Amino acid sequence: MFVLPAPAEPSAFWSDVKYTDNFVLQQSVSAGGLFLRNVLATIQNVLETKPPPFRIVYRHISGGDTFILLGAGETRDEIEADWKWLYDNIMPVVSDLEDPAERASFVVTKIRFLATAEGGQDVSADRKMRAATTTFRQTFDVGRSENLVTYYSCALMKNFMLHQGWLYLSEHYFCFYSYMFGSEKKIIFELRDIKDLAKSKSMGGVRDDAIEVVTRDGSRYAFSNLFHRDETFDMLSQLTANTMKRVLLNSEYASTQHQSSGGHKRDPSSASALSTGSRAPAVAPVAQRARSLAEQISQQRRNEEFQGEFGLPASETLLSVIDAASMSIPGSVNVYSGKLYLSTSFVCYMSRDFRGCRIILPLAAVRRIERMSSTDSHLVQCYELTITVWHQMDVSFKVPLDSTECNRWCDALRGQLKTMVEEQQAAKASQTALSRYTLRAFCKTCASEFMLAAGDNEQTETFVDCLGKTFGFPGDPLIQKEKPKRRYWLKYMRDYGRNLTIIRRAEFDRLIRVGLPNCLRGEIWELSSGAMYLRFQNRGVYEKYVNDYLDRPGPYADEIEKDLNRSLPEYAGYQSPEGIDALRRVLNAYSLRDSELGYCQAMNIVASTMLIFMTEEQVFWTLTVMCDRLVPGYYSPSMYGASLDQSIFQTLVEDTMPVLATSFKKRDIQLSIACLPWFLTLFVNSMPLVYALRVLDCFFLEGPKILFRI
């Protein structure tokens, strides 16, 4: 392997294997007695100076003592291949050059080009990382295809002895190596074998610098002296999570491979530390080459946390964050303190205080942005960013005046807006689906626009084209208090926006928990789950899948057909062709969109419930978010997500209701037999529909944890 040329000193620890006037192939040797070798090995382990066993150096002058390191290798065959290439391509040219300085310049230039060529290992890694990679592969037999992600200095406490060494984290392995005065300690196991991972304290609970790792075979390891404990823990958590995702997705791949027909097939063997499945966001190759693998994984963790926090599509990449930003709304006395985020398509804000406030603004909904000097509530100079959104509402953010984060954030926002405008113009010129990028057409599909247009006139119809508009909604409007709920939401949307530009204060969550009016239930479900943003970015996609289904039904069409008449048969809409046809289109379109998951029973129950309050396209994208993010693995062939939640539910019952759990065990009753249908259908088939709708209200707001609270 050729490396970036660097000075190298002659040493008695290297012996010549092959040599010419200017090039030398050397092998490391052990010198001195046993004590000296142990001391040398200990120093190399602690200071991370263990060299590769073979190297190629360039000698300025024949017989001179000034070397330039050109290549290093872990095996004889590898270094011999590099030597042969030099012998065939470089040495003949060097022998024709007379000036020693010209020879050295030629060799260094050629080797530097080879080391930094596209796809080379040394593109962005520094010398320490290359040395650690060499040590890692030399110490642990993991294969050359295994990439080292990062490494940390730490100590392992074992049998009342402290083994100082190095922790290596690769794409698939957890490794530790220590050598102290003849005592060698080597640990290696797969990341998939980690059962528990926790932060801990060392030195009797004095120092917060340790982590504990428990494996599936019961082994427990305590690593201390970690100067970057939190960074180590976060990196290890992300690598373990990615490994578990690959294991689950590969098991699904094995079970569905024979069912795939013309769809995309994923090769499980090609998975890396970043490739957690076909739904993972794509990263530009140039960006990948510019950053190390550890940086990419850290960025992936930040992106996933950001996407989960705001319910955004998996394609969103976090670009910039302002950690200290206060927010105010014209006409409101409330001032919030929190973080201001910018991603590829959204501006987001999350407050820190107990009152809670969140904003998710698509860049397409931004009308105007102003930055000016101002003062905060403490009369301190600051920048004020005022964003005017599509619905003519102003939102103001104040950030510190000397904040470099603000400049980076504004520069990134300017670049994203410029890119968005260029995409819009190109789409309009080519008359593609993106020509509908403006909000006007999208807002016409939102019930909140009709409700605000109707105002206080409660007699005006404010429903979107859903089954409830034709066949009625479950429950008695008087008992459900539809009119008061509508008035509360009408006032809230007048003050704090609606659909894509709504501000989610604490009152937003409270109104959902109180109960949603039928006219807004579908839109709030879509908004709370994040499906609205997915639908906004993918307009026209649902119609494409429906047309594909009509032209050529997918492999799950027959199975879907069998379950259509079993979907909420008590509701009038599913006793007519209109309701059955709508459900058929949605389920078949989704089975084409996700051919790996396809269709599973119980999906029809949930989809049929949503169709009462939502349009077909809204149901399609809400079902997508539900299967991909809210309850992943619930409707897969192995139902691994539902099985995992059943295990959690079983543990909760044993901890909180031990008498009931003991009674089930005595009678040999498996709790999952009774409870699995509850989770799969989100309680729709387990209680009266009007109560199940309240469960769905909270489910889309708070996520799957609500299923354990019913």
pLDDT tens per residue, range 677-707: 999 999 999 899 999 999 999 999 999 999 9
Which candidate, 501, 525, 536, places its Cα nearest to that of 313?
A: 536
Note the pTM of the prediction, 2 decimals. Answer: 0.77
539, pLDDT greater than 90 = no
Give the separation between CA 354 and CA 338, rounded to whole angstroms.
11
pLDDT at position 78 is 84
Task: Work out the pLDDT band at 120, boundaries 50, 70, 90.
Answer: very low
Beta-carbon contacts of 398 under 8 Å, excluding residues fewer than 6 positions away, are: 325, 326, 327, 328, 374, 376, 382, 383, 384, 385
pLDDT at position 27 is 86
C-alpha torsion 459→460→466→469, nearest 10? 40
| Of 438 and 176, more confident | 176
Average pLDDT over residues 469-476: 91
Task: Work out the pLDDT band at 484, boundaries 50, 70, 90.
Answer: very high
> Tokens 């996933």 map to which residue?
304
- Residue 474: helix, strand or coil by DSSP? coil
Are the beta carbons of 532 and 525 closer than 8 angstroms? no
pLDDT at position 626 is 95
User: Which residues face 386 on adjacent strands?
Assistant: 370, 396
Average pLDDT over residues 396-402: 83
pLDDT at position 485 is 93
Task: Work out the pLDDT band at 548, boundaries 50, 70, 90.
Answer: very high
| Of 138 and 631, more confident | 631
Average pLDDT over residues 640-659: 90
* CA atoms in the 13 A half-sphere facing the CB of 59: 17
262, pLDDT greater than 50 = no
Of 378-387, 392-401, 567-576, the poorest mean pLDDT is in: 378-387
Average pLDDT over residues 138-143: 83
Task: Work out the pLDDT band at 268, boundaries 50, 70, 90.
Answer: very low
C-alpha torsion 341→344→346→347, nearest 10? 30
Are the beta carbons of 565 and 603 closer than 8 angstroms? no
Question: Amino acid identity of 443?
Answer: C
The pair of structure tokens assigned to 41 is 């090995």
pLDDT at position 50 is 58
Sequence-distant contacts of 253-256: CB under 8 A, at least 24 apart: 253/596, 255/637, 255/638, 256/596, 256/598, 256/637
526, pLDDT greater than 90 = yes
pLDDT at position 254 is 53
Which candidate, 488, 496, 200, places its Cα nearest to that of 331?
A: 496
Query: Percentage of the chain surpassing pLDDT 70?
Result: 84
pLDDT at position 383 is 84
What φ, ψ does residue 571 adopt, rounded to 5°?
-85, 135
- Residue 17: helix, strand or coil by DSSP? strand
Which candidate, 366, 581, 362, 611, places its Cα nearest to that of 473?
A: 611
385, pLDDT greater than 70 = yes
Of 49-63, 170-184, 343-357, the poorest mean pLDDT is in: 49-63
Give the separation between CA 372 and CA 370, rounded to whole angstroms.
7
Average pLDDT over residues 461-465: 74
Under DSSP, the state recorded for 363 is G
Task: Work out the pLDDT band at 379, boundaries 50, 70, 90.
Answer: low
Task: Work out the pLDDT band at 347, boundaries 50, 70, 90.
Answer: very high
Give the separation between CA 272 and CA 301, rounded to whole angstroms.
15
Q: How many helices (H) and strands (E) does the chain have?
A: 26, 20
